[in-house]
């Protein structure tokens, strides 16, 4: 049976391709932790791919975000695939992304996923997005149906950040009732400090920060309210769902907002407090 300790050990950290993040990751994150690298309209895909290449060269298992709306066309996608394969990357995450307008022909992630399948599935692992809480611009039923449509092209689901244990449980139940059996990486915000969160928002660009905060006002409130958010508390409340065999949760996807040293310190302290998995 999967334990909470197992899930905390099977963690992956999401980082933003900022200037100093490579050095911070290398200094503070062990190489057995998977690192996912986001993509943004402000920085473009090249920043994501370059950081993925550098971290892969440092011995990390890296998951670049291939935002569909930043991919120009099939030729561009083929270039990306070759570049990531040359770096030894075998895992990609394919969201739609926020570029408006799109850089090319792709409005959403499904056509990119289908194109990767047509190319012979060049990556062994392909992730898609799930939304435990409502998407700011897409109806809940549409997001669940979209997951069904994408399931044939993917190998796992990453849930978006959520602060409500009950909402996580309801969403996983809906996914499984729809007969989507892909393993789930549950999205979890790390132990983010308010001042550092606001500093990070500034660093990723004023326009992008404004879009993020406009779409996710409730997230900012959770982070900034005194005692308003604790990843430990959320994990305790969601433990029954996360460890249930019926849930199919494979690990935790931690949104670090580039506070990776603090996040790794928090994880190690948490592992010390959690019961160790039984030895076989």
Mean pLDDT value of segment 237-265: 95
Per the domain annotation, does 280 fall within a domain? no
pLDDT of residue 102: 92
| Burial of 157 per CB tally in 10 Å (0-12, 13-18, 19+) | buried
CA pair distance 177, 221, nearest whole angstrom = 32
Q: What's the pLDDT tens digit per position in 89-107?
A: 999 999 998 888 999 999 9
The span from the CA of 52 to the CA of 35, in Å, is 9
Query: 3-class SS at 221?
Result: helix
Question: Range of 269's domain?
Answer: 4-273
CB 184 within 8 A of CB 175: yes
CATH number at 146 reads 3.20.20.220
Per-residue pLDDT, averaged over 187-198, amounts to: 75
Comparison of pLDDT for 277 and 124, the residue scoring more: 124
Q: Quick one: CA torsion of 144, 150, 151, 153, rounded to 10 degrees?
A: -170
Question: d(Cα 97, Cα 109) in Å, to the nearest integer?
Answer: 8
Task: Classify residue 254: in a domain, yes or no.
Answer: yes
260 vs 189, which has greater pLDDT? 260
In a domain, 98, yes or no: yes
Q: Is residue 70 part of a domain?
A: yes
Beta bridge mates, 157? 128, 184
* Average pLDDT of the chain, as a whole number: 87
Helix (H) or strand (E) holding 46: helix 44-57
Residue 216 lies in a domain: yes
Tens of pLDDT, residues 13-26 = 999 998 899 999 99
d(CA 2, CA 210): 39
* Residue 279 within any structural domain of the chain: no
pLDDT confidence tier of residue 220, bands split at 50, 70 and 90: low
Residue 206 pLDDT class (50, 70, 90 cuts):
very low
Q: Is the peptide bond before 101 cis (omega within 30 degrees of 0)?
A: yes
Residue 242 is predicted with a pLDDT of 97
d(CA 172, CA 184) in angstroms, rounded, equals 9
Asked whether the beta carbons of 158 and 187 are under 8 A apart, the reply is: yes
* Residue 198, pLDDT score: 58
pLDDT of residue 275: 81
Whether 266 is in a domain gets the answer yes
Select the more confidently predicted residue: 8 or 149.
8
Q: Confidence class of residue 169 from pLDDT cuts 50, 70 and 90?
A: very high
Provide the domain count of the chain: 1
pLDDT in tens, 256-276: 989 999 999 999 999 999 887
- Give, for 117, the enclosing helix (H) or strand (E): helix 109-118
Highest mean pLDDT among 161-165, 209-213, 261-265: 261-265
CA dist 145 and 126 (Å) reads: 18
Residue 204 pLDDT greater than 60, yes or no: no
In a domain, 56, yes or no: yes
Tokens of 193: 């400090």
């Amino acid at each position: 049976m999967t334990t909470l300790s197992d899930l905390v050990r099977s963690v992956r950290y999401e980082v933003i391709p900022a200037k100093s993040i490579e050095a911070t990751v290398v200094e503070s994150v062990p190489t057995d932790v998977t690192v996912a690298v986001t993509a943004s309209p402000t920085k473009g895909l090249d920043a994501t791919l370059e950081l993925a290449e550098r971290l892969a060269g440092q011995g990390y298992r890296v998951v670049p975000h291939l935002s569909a709306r930043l991919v120009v066309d099939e030729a561009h996608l083929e270039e990306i695939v070759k570049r990531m394969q040359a770096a030894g990357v075998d895992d990609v995450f394919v969201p739609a992304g926020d570029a408006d307008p799109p850089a090319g022909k792709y409005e959403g992630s499904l056509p990119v996923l289908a194109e990767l399948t047509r190319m012979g599935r060049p990556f062994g692992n392909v992730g898609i997005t799930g939304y435990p809480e409502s998407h700011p611009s897409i109806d809940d039923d549409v997001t669940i149906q979209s997951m069904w449509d994408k399931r044939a092209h993917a190998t796992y689901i990453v849930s978006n950040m959520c602060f409500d244990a009950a909402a996580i449980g309801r969403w996983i139940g809906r996914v499984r009732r729809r007969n989507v059996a892909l393993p789930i990486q549950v999205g979890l915000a790390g132990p983010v400090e308010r001042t550092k969160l606001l500093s990070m928002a500034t660093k990723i660009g004023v326009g992008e920060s404004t879009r993020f905060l406009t779409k996710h006002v409730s997230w900012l409130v959770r982070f900034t309210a005194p005692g308003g958010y604790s990843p430990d508390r959320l994990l305790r409340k969601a433990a029954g769902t996360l460890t249930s065999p019926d849930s199919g949760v494979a690990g935790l996807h931690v949104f670090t907002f580039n506070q990776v040293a603090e996040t790794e310190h928090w994880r190690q302290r948490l592992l010390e407090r959690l019961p160790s998995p039984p030895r076989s």
